[in-house]
A = this chain, B = another copy of it.
Amino acid sequence: MEICSDLLIGQQTQAGSQGSTQSIEAASGKPLSPAFGGASAAQLDAACALAWQAADVYRELPLESRAAFLEKIAQNILDLGDVLVERCVQESGLPRGRIEGERGRTVGQLRMFAAVVRQGDFLGVRIDPAQPERQPLPRVDLRLRYVPLGPVAVFGASNFPLAFSVAGGDTASALAAGCPVVAKAHPAHLGTSALVGQAVRKAVADCGLPDGTFSLLFDSGLEIGQGLVSDARIKAVGFTGSRRGGLALLKLAAARHEPIPVYAEMSSINPVLLFPHALANRGAAIGTAFAASLALGAGQFCTNPGLVLAIDSPAVDAFIDAAATALAATPAATMLTPGIHQAYESAVAKLAQHAQVDTVAQGKEASGPAQGRATLFSTTAEAFSRDPALQDEIFGAASLVVRCPDLATMRDLVEKLEGQLTAALHIDEADQADARALLPTLERRVGRILVNGFGTGVEVGHAMVHGGPYPSTADGRSTSVGSLAIDRFLRPVSYQDMPDALLPDALKRANPLGLTRRVDGKLTTAD
């Protein structure tokens, strides 16, 4: 299959007329063809206009049509076959197995949201029926449902070229919520984006949906991304990337005539907390597992364990020794882009020179372009406490071990942490009292607390929170992974004393959709 470099403006394919851009083959550093023309301001405008036109139609389609559309996207992605996997491996430098797994996750997400849409609980229906006899005043009839916010801009993420890109979690949840999507491809995987974009475009046509339900734009600079966030027809933004990038989008969104929510996942160092009994009983095993989590995918995960807080004891050495041994045997890995690799190298070099930081382990020496070498550092609690820069995320397989003299110090350090996506506790039963003492702090600081595991490997389910207090995400009231992610793109509307003929089906008196609805505050499936 040829990769088409056209923008997708609804069903229209158009060559981008503003500059040109190419992805780089991660392993070789060489540019890949084709070159992709960047969207012009007029092309951006056309995509937003189509999305706006599509919004009212798309959102009121039967739930079954919306669900079938999501499933069709999944099937069309699978139908791309090996072309997609190969291109994605080329562009990302990630191993084939990982990309196949990520494709499975991407397809699985779309199917999960199809099931969520069919079930309809996300509509959050609430009904307070009229009470004409109430004294002193009759009660009106009130019926509430959630409606989609409107067109959503989705920014593809570099580190999940399938699962958090053109048809990834943000797109799937926005489409599931009933929002058209205008996606901006990440420059690191333009070919992957184009292929997936065509799969979505075809699904729109297959299902007979309005043209503007989906568009895909390439950007030769930053203008199109900025223009998207500023466009009055865009009503929300999904973004995963750097803190600098996320903050820039937040600023743009806040400066609009009508500010809009930006769901930006920005940075997290995902503390791993090591407790004495767990360390004493299996410090080495934890160290080995930690090294595997750290090096996974060249460390290019939002949930990468970038910080280890250990309550000091001789067993900490067993942990470090095992981690160091494992890392020393870990081959360097191709990073996503030359830019990411360069940023990683320079952050690691800077940390290595820090007067209070020791380099305790390194992965195998690297050769070839963009090879990232895992690195483990250590420092004291005092130094960590004193220098906030030691909390800065290093995107890649670098982590910092901090020895804490006692539990109180560990808690102090956690209190000083910025908001995080995850925290991982390694405990044995005898550590539970200590762990319990930390939970209130952790609940305030992180989105997911896990026990005896690592944050990498984010399960896509109903109970997942992949989110967390600022700055791990821009809006800690949300998750970007799992079925709850749909809530980001919805708002409630209440209908008072509306005749059945005008009510949406979800709110009609006979409950024709068979929904579970909250009637007078209690959930029921009755009409």
Using CB atoms and an 8 Å cutoff, list the residues of chain A in contact with chain B.
56, 60, 115-116, 119, 121, 126-128, 137, 139-140, 142-144, 147, 149-150, 250, 254, 258-259, 261, 419, 429, 432, 435-436, 439-440, 443-444, 446-453, 457, 459, 461-465, 467, 469-471, 474-479, 483-484, 490-499, 501-502, 516, 518, 520-521, 523
Contact = CB atoms under 8 A, between A and B. Distances in A.
Nearest to A261: B477
A11 B212 CA distance: 58
A116 B127 CA distance: 15
Given A115-B521, A490-B477, A451 B498 contact: yes
| Top 10 closest pairs, chain A to chain B, by CB | A450-B496, A465-B494, A142-B463, A126-B463, A128-B461, A56-B440, A144-B463, A128-B463, A448-B494, A477-B491
A126 B122 CA distance: 13
Contacts of A459: 128, 139-140, 142, 496
Given A142-B463, A477-B491, 7 more contacts: A142-B461, A147-B443, A259-B470, A429-B499, A451-B502, A465-B492, A523-B523
A130 to B, nearest CB: 10
A518 B462 contact: yes
A490 to B, nearest CB: 7
Given A144-B464, A261-B477, A440-B60, A453 B496 contact: yes
Nearest to A236: B477
B463 A497 contact: no
Contacts of A474: 259
A465 B467 CA distance: 26
A499 B451 contact: yes
How many copies are assembled?
2
A497 B435 CA distance: 14
Of listed A56, A463, A476, A523, residue having the most chain B CB within 10 A: A463
Contact of A465 (B144, B258, B443): B144
A77 B116 CA distance: 44
Contacts of A435: 502
Nearest to A507: B463
A432 B518 contact: no
Contacts of A521: 115-116, 119, 462, 483
A471 B483 CA distance: 29
Given A144-B484, A443-B147, A494-B465, A258 B470 contact: yes
Contact of A254 (B150, B254, B439, B465): B254
A446 B457 CA distance: 41
B502 A464 contact: no
A463 B143 contact: yes
A120 to B, nearest CB: 12
A149 B470 CA distance: 12
Contact of A492 (B149, B439, B447, B493): B447
B60 A449 contact: no
28 contacts: A116-B521, A121-B518, A126-B463, A140-B453, A140-B459, A144-B463, A144-B464, A150-B444, A250-B259, A254-B254, A258-B419, A432-B499, A436-B502, A447-B494, A448-B495, A449-B496, A450-B496, A450-B498, A451-B495, A451-B496, A451-B497, A453-B497, A463-B494, A465-B492, A467-B491, A477-B491, A479-B492, A479-B494
B452 A494 contact: no
Contacts of A495: 448-451
A451 B495 CA distance: 8
A493 B463 CA distance: 9
Contacts of A258: 419, 469-471
A240 B493 CA distance: 19
Contacts of A139: 459, 461
Most buried by B among A150, A467, A502, A523: A502
Contacts of A520: 462
Given A463-B126, A496-B453, A502 B254 contact: no
B439 A465 contact: no
Contacts of A259: 250, 470, 474
Contacts of A497: 450-453
Contact of A463 (B119, B127, B475): B127
A459 B490 CA distance: 23
A486 to B, nearest CB: 12
